[in-house]
Amino acid sequence: MIKELDNFIIESDIELDYFDEVVNHIIENEKRIMDFFKLEKLPNKVRIMILSYKPFKEFVVSKYGEIMDYVSGDSDSKTNTIRILNIADQIKYTTHKDASVERIKGTALHEIVHQCHHVYHNDYRGITWFAEGLATNISNQDYVLKNLEECDFDKLRSDFRHYKGSYSFSYTLVNYILNNYSEEEIIKLYKEPDYLREKANFIFNEAKDWVNKQLNNNVKKHI
């Protein structure tokens, strides 16, 4: 199965009854994501592959040396490719036993955010949390604010892939940024990795206070 768009070639290695639904979701959200990154067109057309477990695992292991049981998608800037594990194999092989069409659609947008971010740089040393926080927020994936008092920020920065709760903490940190920083500052953060690294501790401490207020307000609303 294959569909070519202006910026993407979307394909699957097996017949999927939800293929067209995923394609339409990408079409509906493409401009919104590109606008966030101030892009009119991607410099290279990106292949989005919805794959069975064997080819998906082979690529992930070749890239990272291992495959974590929660991994269901990957964006590769060197080859301009996105790989997403199909629903049936997510349920069979990963922790995502509730995998659904909605989840696949969210993963597709998540990885597209990464491809747009890659246009500006590919230096994520110590700032993977920011890249993943952007992707989870912009793709509207199903995350909620998490208490940052429980976050070891040094571990989040140094070992993102193995740190439990890394995606929830990252979603929370970037949700704070998107709700409180100016557009000009947000653009500087996603374009300039060294600037982001310099500001990281300040952002974390600011976000902790903001999140505490948000969570306390939510508690009061339910009393």
Q: What is the pLDDT along the chain (223 residues), one digit of tens a residue?
A: 999 999 999 999 999 999 999 999 999 999 999 999 999 999 999 999 999 999 999 999 999 999 999 999 999 999 999 999 999 999 999 999 999 999 999 999 999 999 999 999 999 999 999 999 999 999 999 899 999 999 999 999 999 999 999 999 999 999 999 999 999 999 999 999 999 999 999 999 999 999 999 988 765 554 4
Query: Are residues 12 and 53 both part of a single domain?
Result: yes
Distances (CA, A) of 103 to 28, 56, 129: 16, 17, 21
- Residue that finishes a domain, picked among 97, 119, 141: 119
- The domain boundary, picked from 119, 151, 184, lies at 119
pTM score of the predicted model:
0.93
Domain containing 154 equals 123-223
- What angle, rounded to 10 degrees, do the helices at 166-180 and 128-138 form? 70
Task: Give the C-alpha separation, 169 to 186, whole Å.
Answer: 18
Domain shared by 128 and 214, yes or no: yes
* Number of structural domains found in the chain: 2
Q: Which residues contact 75 (CB under 8 A, 6 or more apart)?
A: 81, 82, 111, 112, 114, 115, 118
Q: Which of 119, 151, 168 is the last residue of a domain?
A: 119
